[in-house]
């Protein structure tokens, strides 16, 4: 017996992040203390990242079923029906902790990981989006983090050849110590060729394919389950290194294998690598699994069993084959010049048994690892309620000046510097990508006349001010963006980024944000089909603003009807749909112009949201509108300015009879859209809105080449465009 089979102690378990109760459960289940390999396996499987032990009971509140849902949460990604025998498979995932430590590789491997979740299920990845949150532009690290993360996302996606079509980028001091990198992948599969992870049946061969296993990323899942401290920089070796060239070949090889009848189950090796992939497949299939670790392709010498089992080396897959299909499957991977090895088989023991150099190094029952994993009801407190801001108390300065300030503010400024580094057109089906003057990215379903619309959204300042309303708003805004692009919203994935769940105030943010999301998803018929939770986004006791990002997908039946906000023409009337009260609490105006981050966020009336959205959908498909833009950050004036810039035509907005300028032009009341329509359809459109029970009024006209807000000084559109375009390149390159 070698030393690695010696029993471990509670102190060793504690060092790997397990607590006393969890250690007690392990002793009880095994009837003995685990050895090193076994302890390593328990510690990663029961890490927050893999076990969702703080979040599971709350995630159950989210609606996950609906007419279009083929497969909800629980598999590698969510699957929805998009008609014609096709399915859309999609998911979003965080790679926050690694991206802060090593931005290029952290972001790159985040993109690689989320693509594997999607093609594992049989889909060809067709689009990538990413939601990024960086610290204050003044923070000394921010510039290097932006540069590294963007290069990493591009470096991976561009090489694999999947277009990066959309996303969002925010800056706020709340992310100084913990940036957020959330990547979303959307793929398309045939409904009769979807692959799942349940390894049903004993005696089936287990095939390892892809890259070799090295020592990178060991305990990455554990790192993602703890706060950062002064020693965080020393964790760089736990960040994985990506190789998109291998990923590209892995996609092609797996999709080729999926055309055969070789596969029983397939799973990518993501967090906790070989451990979680083999255990999840066996657990779901109700079988045991025996692996011979000497057969695992290895990049380094003298790797120990625990290193092999916990390695997070990238671009690896585990496949359970039908017996007799070994050589057919191996030939495909050899053609693509990938490592491939038979490393074990499924069994009827219900145990995971590992052999290494002739010795049994692990023998543990699988059930407690998965199904009986810890499930905590963490204490939480109701977040404090902030008072609504009375818009009349906000000094209304010059709206023209405020507009310039907002259009060049870090959150609002053009992100061209970022998205020009992403290949947005490869695969030749991109209809609208970043910079394409659309509220959602739109990608044609290859060889059809349909298109998918997709958008990722969250307004963290709203969620911080009121997690419940903010959670609702994130869902509603995503739904609204899909509506504005002409799509029928179908379903969402989520990526829930929060601080330390062991703190009751943070847990309160999490619980209430989910409550809000659940209510909005239910009211809008917008089920959650996949998602990811990232907790412990916290440094030295300071948590990030709560950031539940929603990634939505919608369907456009006729790709030619995709709508954007760049099609307005001189002479068009601008019609505002939805009610305006002049809500300035938690608004971008209040923060950027008044320097105040306070007040309750705008509430979302979900019933009204749905009604207004359905009207907009009908108007777009009735051919009555030339451009549509949803109102979000910066309210009416910023939406109209973006429409003007994209349409290369000036815009004149009228002032309000009842509201002060700041409230009218920059208030962020929810559930609103701005429509550009030909002057002669205004009256019937207003009638139609009235009948539908939706507030509608003409608020301006497209004309000449200035942006005019009521009685304020006209602003040349060129000047606004220039300021809007210049902020980010100047920030990144003129330092």
Partner 1 sequence: MIVSAAVIVFPGSNCDRDAVSALSKHSTKRVHRVWHRDTDLPKVDLVILPGGFSYGDYLRSGAIAARSPIMTAVQSHAKRGGLLVGICNGFQILTETHLLPGALMRNAGLKFLCKSTPLRIENADTPFTRAYAGLDQTSIPIAHHDGNYFADEDTLDRLEGGGQIVFRYVNNPNGSSRDIAGITNKAGNVLGMMPHPERAIDPLTGETGGLAFFKSLAGVMA
| Integer Rg of the chain from CA | 26
Q: Which residue lies nearer to partner 1 by CB, 147 or 688?
A: 147
378 lies in the site for partner 1, by CB under 8 A: no
CB of residue 164 to partner 1, shortest distance in Å: 9
Q: Whole-number minimum distance, CB 109 to partner 1, in Å?
A: 15
Using CB under 8 A, which of the segments 293-301, 421-429, 529-537, 633-641 binds partner 1? 421-429
Between 316 and 461, name the residue whose CB sits nearer to partner 1.
Answer: 316
Q: Does 32 bind partner 1 (CB under 8 A)?
A: no
Residue where the block lists tokens 């990811």: 532
CB of 437 to partner 1, least distance (A): 12
- 340 contacts partner 1 (rule: CB under 8 A): no
Q: Which is nearer to partner 1, 420 or 687 (CB)?
A: 420
Which position among 161, 201, 297, 567 is part of the footprint of partner 1 (CB under 8 A)?
Answer: 161
By CB under 8 A, residue 559 contacts partner 1: yes
Number of chain residues interacting with partner 1 (CB under 8 A): 31
Which of 74, 83, 190, 245 is in the footprint of partner 1 by CB under 8 A? 245
Q: Two tokens at 99?
A: 């991206």
Whole-number Cα distances in Å, 48 to 26, 40, 231: 17, 14, 20
Among 411, 429, 439, 642, binds partner 1 (CB under 8 A): 429
Quick one: which of 7, 12, 72 has its CA closest to 526?
Answer: 72
Q: What CA–CA distance (Å, rounded) separates 27 from 32?
A: 5
| Burial bucket for residue 459 (CB in 10 Å: 0-12, 13-18, 19+) | buried
Residue 487 in the binding site for partner 1 (CB under 8 A): no
Does 248 participate in binding partner 1 (rule CB under 8 A)? yes
Q: Least separation, in Å, of the C-beta of 152 and partner 1? A: 11
CB closer to partner 1 out of 138 and 447: 447
Told to check if 422 binds partner 1 by CB under 8 A, we report: yes
Nearer to partner 1, 429 or 669 (CB): 429
Q: CB within 8 A of 291, min separation 6: which ones?
A: 206, 274, 278, 343, 344, 352, 353, 354, 355
* Token couple for 665: 């032009």
Give the nearest distance from C-beta 518 to partner 1 in angstroms: 37
635-647 vs 717-733: helix crossing angle, rounded to 10: 90
**Residue 333 contacts residue 395 (beta carbons within 8 Å):** no
Task: Indicate the SS3 state at residue 59.
Answer: helix
Question: Which region among 1-9, 425-433, 514-522, 658-666 touches partner 1 (by CB under 8 A)?
Answer: 425-433
**Catalytic machinery residues:** 49, 95
Does 249 help bind partner 1 (rule: CB under 8 A)? yes
Query: Which of 98, 244, 516, 667 is in the footprint of partner 1 by CB under 8 A?
Result: 244
Nearer Cβ to partner 1 (162/550): 162
DSSP symbol at 418: H
Minimum separation from the CB atom of position 733 to partner 1 (A):
9
> φ and ψ at 291, to 5 degrees?
-125, 140
DSSP-assigned beta bridge partners for residue 188: 88, 124
Tell me which of 138, 337, 680, 734 binds partner 1, using CB under 8 A: 337
- 316 beta partners: 210
In DSSP terms, which residues pair with 457 in a beta bridge?
550
Match 């000047």 to its residue by tokens: 719
Q: Is residue 30 exposed (0-12), middle (13-18) or buried (19+ Cβ within 10 Å)?
A: middle
Residue 421 interacting with partner 1 (CB under 8 A): yes
Per CB under 8 A, the list member of 345, 424, 617, 652 interacting with partner 1 is: 424
Q: Show the site string, 202-241: x = touches partner 1 by CB under 8 A, - = not.
A: ----------------------------------------
Q: Which residue has the tokens 């609002």?
A: 412
Which residue, 214 or 650, is less far from partner 1 as judged by CB? 214
Q: How many helices (H) and strands (E) does the chain have?
A: 25, 28
DSSP structural state of residue 338:
-
Q: Which residues of 415-429 are buried (b: 16+ CB within 10 A; e: fewer)?
A: bebbbebbbbeebeb
Q: Transcribe 211-223 into DSSP letters.
A: SPB-STTTTHHHH
Closest CB to partner 1 among 159 and 570?
159
Question: Which range, of 158-166, 189-197, 665-673, 694-702, touches partner 1 by CB under 8 A?
Answer: 158-166
Binding partner 1 (rule: CB under 8 A), the pick from 426, 570, 579, 686 is 426
Residue 526 CA to residue 550 CA, distance in Å, equals: 11
Owner of token pair 């100047």: 730
Give the integer Cα–Cα distance in Å for 528 and 326: 37
Site for partner 1 in 273-292 (CB under 8 A): none
* Residue 444-483 contact track with partner 1, rule CB under 8 A, x = bound: x---------------------------------------
Q: Which of 336, 468, 536, 673 binds partner 1 (CB under 8 A)?
A: 336
CB of 127 to partner 1, least distance (A): 13
Choosing from 28, 428, 595, 735, the residue that interacts with partner 1 (CB under 8 A) is 428
**Helix intervals (H) in 503-579:** 504-524
To partner 1, the closest distance from the beta carbon of 156 in angstroms equals: 10
Can you tell me whether residue 608 is helix, strand or coil? helix
Q: Compare residues 160 and 660 and give the one whose CB is closer to partner 1.
A: 160
Sequence-separated (6 or more) residues with CB below 8 Å from residue 232: 100, 101, 539
Q: Are 611 and 694 in contact (CB under 8 A)?
A: yes
Q: Cα 587 to the chain's mean position, in Å? A: 23
SS3 492: strand
Please, which of residues 401-420 interact with partner 1 by CB under 8 A?
419-420
- CB nearer to partner 1: give 542 or 726: 726
* Residues 607 to 666 in contact with partner 1, rule: CB under 8 A: none
Name the residue nearer to partner 1 (CB basis): 158 or 547.
158
**158 counts as binding partner 1 under rule CB under 8 A:** yes
- Does the footprint of partner 1 cover residue 430 (CB under 8 A)? yes
CB of 425 to partner 1, least distance (A): 5
Whole-angstrom CA distances from 366 to 29, 34, 280, 281 are: 10, 14, 9, 10
Q: Which is nearer to partner 1, 244 or 601 (CB)?
A: 244
Contact yes or no for 253/266 (Cβ under 8 A): no
Q: Applying CB under 8 A, which residues contact partner 1?
A: 151, 154-155, 158-161, 243-246, 248-249, 336-337, 419-431, 444, 559-560
């Amino acid at each position: 017996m070698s030393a690695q089979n010696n029993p471990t102690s509670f102190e060793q378990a504690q060092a790997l992040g397990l607590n006393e109760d969890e250690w007690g459960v392990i002793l009880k289940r095994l009837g003995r203390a685990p050895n090193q390999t076994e302890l390593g396996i328990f510690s990663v499987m029961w890490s927050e990242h893999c076990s969702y032990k703080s979040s599971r009971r709350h995630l159950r509140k989210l609606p996950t079923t609906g007419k279009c849902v083929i497969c909800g949460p629980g598999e590698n990604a969510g699957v929805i029906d998009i008609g014609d025998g096709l399915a859309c498979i999609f998911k979003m995932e965080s790679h926050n902790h690694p991206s802060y430590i090593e931005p290029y590789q952290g972001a790159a491997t985040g993109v690689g990981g989320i693509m594997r979740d999607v093609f594992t299920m049989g889909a060809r990845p067709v689009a990538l989006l990413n939601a990024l949150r960086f610290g204050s532009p003044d923070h000394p690290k921010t510039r290097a983090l932006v540069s590294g993360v963007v290069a990493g996302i591009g470096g991976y996606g561009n090489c694999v050849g999947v277009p990066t079509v959309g996303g969002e980028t925010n800056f706020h001091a709340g992310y100084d110590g913990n940036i957020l990198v959330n990547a979303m992948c959307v793929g398309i599969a045939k409904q009769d060729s979807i692959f799942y992870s349940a390894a049903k049946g004993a005696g089936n061969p287990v095939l390892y394919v892809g890259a070799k296993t090295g020592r990178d990323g060991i305990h990455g899942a554990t790192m993602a389950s703890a706060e950062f401290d002064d020693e965080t920089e020393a964790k760089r070796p736990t960040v994985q290194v990506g190789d998109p060239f291998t990923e590209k070949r892995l996609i092609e090889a797996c999709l080729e294998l999926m055309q055969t009848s070789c596969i029983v189950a397939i799973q990518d090796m993501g967090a906790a690598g070989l451990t979680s992939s083999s255990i999840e497949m066996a657990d779901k299939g109700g079988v045991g699994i025996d692996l011979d670790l000497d057969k695992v392709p290895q990049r380094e010498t003298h790797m120990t069993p625990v290193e092999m089992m916990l390695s997070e080396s990238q671009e690896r897959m585990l496949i359970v084959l039908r017996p007799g299909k070994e050589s057919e499957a191996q030939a495909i991977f050899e053609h693509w010049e990938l490592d491939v090895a038979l490393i074990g088989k499924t069994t009827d023991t219900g145990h995971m048994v590992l052999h290494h150099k002739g010795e049994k190094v692990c023998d543990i029952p699988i059930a407690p690892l998965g199904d009986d994993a810890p499930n905590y009801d963490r204490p939480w407190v109701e977040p404090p309620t902030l008072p609504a801001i009375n818009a009349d108390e906000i000094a209304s300065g010059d709206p023209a000046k405020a507009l310039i300030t907002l259009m060049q503010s870090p959150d609002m400024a053009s992100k061209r510097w970022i998205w020009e580094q992403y290949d947005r057109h490869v695969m030749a089906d991109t209809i609208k990508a970043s910079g394409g003057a659309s509220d959602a990215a739109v990608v044609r379903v290859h060889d059809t006349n349909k298109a998918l619309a997709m958008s990722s959204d969250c307004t963290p300042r709203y969620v911080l001010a009121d997690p419940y309303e903010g959670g609702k708003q994130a869902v509603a805004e995503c739904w609204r963006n899909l509506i504005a692009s002409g799509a029928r919203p179908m379903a969402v994935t989520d990526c829930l980024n929060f601080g330390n769940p062991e703190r009751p105030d943070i847990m309160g943010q999490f619980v209430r944000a989910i409550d809000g999301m659940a209510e909005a998803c239910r009211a809008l018929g917008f089920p959650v089909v996949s998602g990811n939770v990232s907790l412990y986004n916290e440094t030295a006791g300071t948590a990030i603003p709560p950031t539940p990002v929603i990634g939505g997908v919608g369907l456009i039946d006729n790709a030619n009807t995709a709508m954007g906000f760049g099609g307005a023409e001189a002479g068009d009337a601008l019609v505002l749909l939805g009610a305006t009260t002049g809500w300035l609490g938690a608004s971008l105006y209040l923060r950027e112009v008044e320097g105040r981050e306070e007040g309750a966020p705008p509430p979302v009336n979900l019933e009204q949201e749905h009604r207004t959205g359905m009207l907009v959908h009908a108007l777009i498909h009735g051919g009555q509108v030339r451009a549509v833009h949803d109102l979000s950050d910066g309210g009416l004036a910023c939406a109209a300015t973006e429409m003007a810039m994209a349409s290369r035509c000036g815009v004149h907005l009228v002032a309000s009879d009842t509201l002060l300028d700041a409230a009218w032009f920059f208030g962020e009341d929810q559930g609103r859209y701005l429509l550009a329509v030909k002057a002669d359809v205004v009256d019937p459109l207003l009638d139609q809105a009235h009948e539908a029970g939706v507030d509608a009024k003409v608020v301006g006209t497209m004309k000449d080449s200035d942006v005019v807000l009521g009685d304020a000084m006209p602003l040349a559109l060129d000047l606004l465009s220039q300021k809007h375009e210049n902020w980010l390149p100047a920030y990144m390159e003129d330092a």
